[in-house]
Structure 1
Amino acid sequence: MSEFRKANTDRPFFVTLTVVGWIDVFTRSEYCEEFLNNLEFCRKNKGLKVYAYCIMVSHIHLIVESEEAKLPQIIRDLKSYTAKRIIALITDSHTESRKEWLHYMFRYYANATQQNSEYQFWQKTTHPTELITVKVFDQKADYIHNNPVEAMIVNDPVAYVYSSANPDSVFKVDE
């Protein structure tokens, strides 16, 4: 994860995890819940702090931090494990009507990037932005929370289920 190399990784970062080809994977709740379960695992077991999140259909925005300055490794592991788990859910699903097409696309992107795996789920980059001031932190949090409104999914950020803007969100962020 060379994109973090020059940064002070013990500060909060805004990162975006994007599905290859901007494929709409997170249209099903089981895939969103799998991601959140893996995010929770990283929080409990790897020291990840999550301050804001929003799961959109093809990408996920996060504001995260690691006290031990291991953020690049945590994000790498989160992406790797989540990709394997979601692809397994797609493979095992009896209701996923796009299964063959999704497998085809994930194989296509793995071959296109000459990856050493059968499938590629995530784009390589996370576009990390170090949040060095409270003002920048707040701007990015507002951007994350307003993303579903801008995409015309909801009229109010608090109405979006898979966002830290929602007070009833199943995933509670750190303070």
Structure 2
Amino acid sequence: MSWADLFSRQVYRNIIIDNLQYCIANKGLIIYAYVIMSNHVHLLVQSNSGQLSNTIRDFKSYTSKKFIQCIEQNKESRSEWLLNVFKQAASMHKRNSHYQVWTHENHAVHVYSDKFVMQKLDYIHMNPARAGLVRQPEDYIYSSACNYAGETAVLPEVEVLTLSVISVK
């Protein structure tokens, strides 16, 4: 499946942010780190309900429907191309009937040590800098890097990890 630069538009980033906020408020999602790039999202999360897999499934299902609805109803200059990309991706999987926006894999990894957590935080936060979008990770507003730099961040709400929190979780 080719990745589409869907999140290069504010309207689609807002769908992600709004639904992450919903998952925090209603599904027990805890976000420790995130970055929204133009064509993918990285999350370091936990569920205090013990249903992380279900929460991610619901998040992907809901946001997919909202993206398609938005593409079809708004004046999206790339609507035909985007819908074709998502239709082609769906045709490769028996589980999809019309469109596939997200990959089926979550690439979930069990975070088992402070060192591993720090590697994941660095990887997530450095994504925009590695892509040449910013010099410093905290300068990218669709990332939790600013939370870790002590700056005011945009939503979604982030629980900043400290070594003592990492050890307990």
TM-score by length of 1: 0.85
Query: In the alignment, what sits opposite 1:173?
Result: 158
The one-letter code of the counterpart of 1:56 is M
Query: In the alignment, what sits opposite 1:163?
Result: 143
Query: In the alignment, what sits opposite 1:35?
Result: 16
Give me the whole-angstrom Cα distance separating, in 2, the residues matched to 1:154 and 1:90.
Answer: 28
Compute the displacement of 1:93 (Å): 1.4
Give me the whole-angstrom Cα distance separating, in 1, the residues matched to 2:137 and 2:120.
Answer: 14
Paired residues of 2:64 and 2:101 also in contact (CA < 8 A): yes
Query: In the alignment, what sits opposite 1:134?
Result: 114
Structure with more of its chain in helix, by fraction: 2
Classify the secondary structure of the residue corresponding to 1:120: coil
TM-score by length of 2: 0.87
Compute the displacement of 1:174 (Å): 1.7
Give me the whole-angstrom Cα distance separating, in 1, the residues matched to 2:96 and 2:2.
Answer: 19
Is 1:112 aligned to residue 112 of structure 2? no
Give me the whole-angstrom Cα distance separating, in 2, the residues matched to 1:104 and 1:115.
Answer: 17
Give me the whole-angstrom Cα distance separating, in 2, the residues matched to 1:76 and 1:113.
Answer: 16
Classify the secondary structure of the residue corresponding to 1:142: helix
Compute the displacement of 1:117 (Å): 2.1
Q: Choose the corresponding residue for 1:67, options 42, 48, 51.
A: 48
Is 1:77 aligned to residue 58 of structure 2? yes
Compute the displacement of 1:169 (Å): 2.5
Structure 2: tracts of 5 or more residues without a match: 161-169
Paired residues of 2:27 and 2:49 also in contact (CA < 8 A): no
Query: In the alignment, what sits opposite 2:130?
Result: 150
Give me the whole-angstrom Cα distance separating, in 2, the residues matched to 1:52 and 1:71.
Answer: 15
The one-letter code of the counterpart of 2:81 is W
Classify the secondary structure of the residue corresponding to 2:8: coil
Paired residues of 2:31 and 2:46 also in contact (CA < 8 A): yes
Q: Which one scores higher on RCO, CA 8 angstroms, separation ≥ 6?
A: 1
1:121-169 per-position Cα deviation (integer Å, ceiling 9, x unaligned):
1011011111111111111011100000001111111110100112332
- Backbone CA RMSD of aligned residues: 1.2
Taking only the aligned residue pairs, the percentage that are identical comes to 43
